[in-house]
Amino acid sequence: MTDMSPMTSIQSRLDTLRQSLPEGVGLVAVSKFHPVEALREAREDGQTLFGESRVQELAAKVAELGDRDYCWHFIGHLQTNKVRQLLRLRPALIESVDSARLLDEIDREAARQGIIQNVLMQIHVAREETKFGFAPEELLEWFGDRRFENLKAVHICGVMGMASNTDDRERIAADFRAIRSAYDEIKAMCPDLRGFSIVSMGMSDDYPVAVECGSTLVRVGSAIFGPREY
């Protein structure tokens, strides 16, 4: 080969990861806690979709890298008092809507800013008590009551979830199947929900299981960028 610059380890890990994902499964490169240079390397390798979990950090990265060549997903717990600032950054998708109160606040603020905000509803199935999100029954009830019809400026594009933090593959698979089946039930119950098509699940340690269980979007950080230094 002539005239090719050497691939960085980020690029080679990214290439390997992409090759392992079936067609139709998207990849969010979770870049939280990593410097903009790391994102630029991934961008040079064709990655456009990045995930961040803190509003301040996203603001700094958008200021430096922009939103033309980079597409941003917000994946962290969001406090209602940060909604205005986050929406001004125009994230393509907020994946972590974990309460009706937060959803209402996003709706209000998006209407105020004159935009339609795309979101995912976060489902909580994992064992850990500290994880955020709707219980599956709670979310089914929310959709069953057709509460989405009250939204003026939010488009719900699907669901997001995490598996329990464990080495037990069976437990992880059961969690992912529970997320996928909540999504399927919502879709069956509300066939008129337009553009409800994303099941975001799977991280560095468990994305192959998530894909087997019906994920359409994986969120992978350390397997691309290496360990985070908090």
Binding residues for ligand PLP, rule: CB under 6 A, are 30, 32, 53, 75-76, 203-205, 219-223
Considering the complex, state which of residue 164 and residue 204 has its C-beta at the smaller distance from ligand PLP: 204
Q: How many CA atoms lie within 13 A of 17 on its CB side?
A: 30
DSSP 107-164: HHHHHHHT--EEEEEEEE-SS-TT--SB-HHHHHHHHHTTGGGG-SSEEEEEEEEE--
CA-wise closest residue to 202 among 168, 175, 229 = 175
Q: Shortest gap between Cβ of 15 and ligand PLP (angstroms)?
A: 17
* DSSP code for 81: G
Considering the complex, state which of residue 51 and residue 136 has its C-beta at the smaller distance from ligand PLP: 51
Q: Shortest gap between Cβ of 54 and ligand PLP (angstroms)?
A: 10
Torsion of CA 38, 42, 47, 51, to 10 degrees: -20
Reading the block at residue 149, the tokens are 């019809």
Q: Shortest gap between Cβ of 205 and ligand PLP (angstroms)?
A: 6
Q: Shortest gap between Cβ of 225 and ligand PLP (angstroms)?
A: 8
Q: Shortest gap between Cβ of 24 and ligand PLP (angstroms)?
A: 20
Considering the complex, state which of residue 2 and residue 230 has its C-beta at the smaller distance from ligand PLP: 230
Q: How many CA atoms lie within 13 A of 32 on its CB side?
A: 16
Q: d(Cα 102, Cα 15) in Å, to the nearest integer?
A: 36
- 115 touches 152 (CB < 8 A): no
Considering the complex, state which of residue 53 and residue 117 has its C-beta at the smaller distance from ligand PLP: 53
Q: d(Cα 174, Cα 165) in Å, to the nearest integer?
A: 13
Considering the complex, state which of residue 61 and residue 219 has its C-beta at the smaller distance from ligand PLP: 219
In the bound state, the residue with its beta carbon closest to ligand PLP is: 221
Considering the complex, state which of residue 32 and residue 70 has its C-beta at the smaller distance from ligand PLP: 32
Burial of residue 163, with CB atoms counted within 10 A of its CB: 0-12 exposed, 13-18 middle, 19 or more buried: buried
Considering the complex, state which of residue 180 and residue 219 has its C-beta at the smaller distance from ligand PLP: 219
Q: Shortest gap between Cβ of 202 and ligand PLP (angstroms)?
A: 8
Q: Shortest gap between Cβ of 76 and ligand PLP (angstroms)?
A: 6
